[in-house]
């Protein structure tokens, strides 16, 4: 099992963020519970994070909120930081450049990306192949954008996925409902932070 943390960054999670996801602040305790439990159990924690520059194609002053979004998670800004409750201790940073194999080792990995799809970072595929998890536990934001892209990517690659509902929120309710319905049809299991934490505690 690995814990997959999707974009738990200030601009998305905090209410004053540049692209705040409605209700995301309410999920912070559940997010913290997952990260703390994974750390205590020695479970691998992979996090993705937007790493934008103002020239990125995804950013627009007239966003359609499907392919383009307002400027957010700009490199070097407070908004790009992970919230303290999900911050990693000593992650392997993974930019869009291919890393040598010797760097694909560790317990924490940070996949930086310029698109909502984490698989636009070529290291994501390589890392998954190296880790070869029996299941991927996913949480973070936004359910209907970056979570959806990651989960569909995992399913297309044959991985078993569990989605932590109380540690995630979506941007658009109707789109979120469509995404989660499609995941259920493809066998995604829905769970809670308490259930995951309890299961990890048994492994200690």
Question: What domain range is 151 assigned to?
Answer: 2-202
Tell me the two tokens of residue 173. Answer: 């309710």
Mean pLDDT for the chain overall: 96
How far is CA 131 from its chain centroid? Answer: 17
pLDDT digits (tens, 9 = 90+) for 101-133: 998 999 999 999 999 999 999 999 999 999 999
DSSP string of the chain? Answer: -EEEEE--BHHHHSTTSTTPPTTGGGGHHHHHHHHHHHHHHT-EEEEEEE-B-TT-TTB-SS--SSS-B-S-SBTTSGGGSBPGGG--SS-EEE-SSPPPGGGS-SSEEEEEESSS-GGGSHHHHHHHHHH--S-EEEEEE-IIIIIHHHHHHHHHTT--EEEEEEEEE-S-HHHHHHHHHHHHHTTPEEE-HHHHHHHHHHT-
Show Cβ contacts of residue 102 under 8 Å, excluding neighbours closer than 6 positions.
Answer: none
Q: If pLDDT is split at 50, 70 and 90, which confidence band does 202 have? A: confident
Q: Number of folded domains in the chain?
A: 1
Mean pLDDT over 76-94 rounds to 97
How far is CA 18 from its chain centroid? Answer: 18
- pLDDT for the residue numbered 10: 98
Count of Cβ atoms closer than 10 Å to residue 61 Cβ: 7
Show Cβ contacts of residue 194 under 8 Å, excluding neighbours closer than 6 positions.
Answer: 33
Supply the CATH number for residue 140's domain.
3.40.50.850
Tell me the two tokens of residue 109. Answer: 């990995």
Q: Cα separation of 52 and 77, whole Å?
A: 10
Q: If pLDDT is split at 50, 70 and 90, which confidence band does 204 have? A: low
Q: Cα separation of 172 and 106, whole Å?
A: 35
């Amino acid at each position: 099992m690995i814990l997959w943390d999707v974009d738990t960054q200030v601009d998305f999670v905090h209410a004053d963020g540049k692209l705040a996801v409605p209700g995301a602040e309410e999920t912070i305790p559940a997010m913290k519970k997952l990260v703390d439990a994974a750390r205590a159990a020695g479970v691998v924690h992979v996090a993705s994070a937007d790493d934008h520059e103002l020239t990125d194609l995804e950013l627009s002053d007239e966003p359609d909120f499907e392919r383009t979004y307002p400027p957010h998670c700009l490199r070097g800004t407070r908004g790009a930081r992970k919230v303290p409750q999900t911050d990693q201790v000593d992650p392997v940073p993974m930019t869009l450049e291919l890393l040598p194999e010797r760097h694909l080792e560790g317990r924490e990995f940070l996949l930086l990306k310029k698109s909502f799809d984490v698989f636009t970072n070529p290291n994501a595929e390589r890392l998954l192949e190296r880790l070869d998890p029996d299941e991927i536990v996913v949480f973070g934001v936004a359910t209907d954008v970056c979570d959806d892209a990651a989960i569909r990517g995992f399913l297309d690659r044959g991985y078993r996925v569990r989605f932590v509902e109380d540690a995630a929120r979506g941007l658009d309710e109707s789109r979120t409902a469509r995404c989660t319905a499609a995941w259920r049809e493809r066998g995604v299991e829905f769970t809670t932070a308490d259930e995951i934490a309890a299961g990890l505690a048994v492994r200690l």
